[in-house]
Chains A and B, each alone.
Chain A
Amino acid sequence: MRGSGIPIWFFIGVLLTVYGAMIFGYGVYEWHTGSYPPLVELTSLHTPVWWGGLLAALGAFYVVKFCPGRASN
């Protein structure tokens, strides 16, 4: 969105960072304790760890790039 104000991409970055951190944190806890949820498949892949990490990294990129004051879009 043009004009002044907080860019939409910044909101998206914040939300992805928060979600990513929460999911990554739970994934690490799950891996550390070995308490995997029953009936969930492919737990050996530790999906919350890499998916949460990916979301957090993408979110952090957007937060930095579109931080209010320096964003052009």
Chain B
Amino acid sequence: MKYISKATFFHRLDPRTKILMSLICACLVVILDTPLSLFSLSIVLFAVFLSIKPPLSYIRIIIYLMGTTMIAAVISQGFFYYFEPRTPIFTVVPSNTRFFGNLTGGIYFYKEGVIYGAIQSMRIFSATLLSMVIVVSTYPSDLILGLKKLGIPEKLGFIITVSIRFLPTLGEEAKRILIAQKLRGLRLKGICGALNGFRFLLQPLIIDSLRKAKRIALAAEVRGFTGKRVEIRSLRFLWADRVVLFIAFLTMLFVIRKMFCP
């Protein structure tokens, strides 16, 4: 999943706004604890996600992810919900069944478990949507500049940029190493094979990365990198940013008041 250039409202927002907005939403995800409120938050975030015009494949991924998380969380929590009070919806194994019943104390499917599972899965869903909105709608360099303006050190920003730049090549490299192993007869099937492959993958990968890191460091030195920079790229904090942040703050205040000052 990566940045896609489009002309949408969220693409135009200042990265700082998006970072602050995501922090507020992250707080909401934690604070909100009723299925209805989290459902509303998920719907709003999903609408925001659709508004950045993501490709169909991204939408498919998010729906698939949501579906599987929801089903897995509801089923597992339904069976294994531990807190009291709990109300069984139906019984799978009654407690008086011989052996299994005695062993497990009965297997029930609890209503509270279903609700708890739904809440947790919607939290995961909201958090995922939030990060996807930022990644897809913000150019990475702008995002890093935004982080720097919000106070992260220049050198850390540089490390993040270089990581974004070189991570894909690391994946390619690992792939080539695995193929080279295969062609030299190393069996990679099964757990033993995978462990074996991993053992012989790490050494060339690390050594090559160290060599590359040295080359990159020297190249950065001769380009005068010291950790202090005057950047050309600039950010513009517009009216839209103020409005979005204002609404986000207001929502947060409202929620806090509603939850903590009855």
Decide whether A and B are members of one complex: no
A interface residues with partner B (beta carbon < 8 Å): none
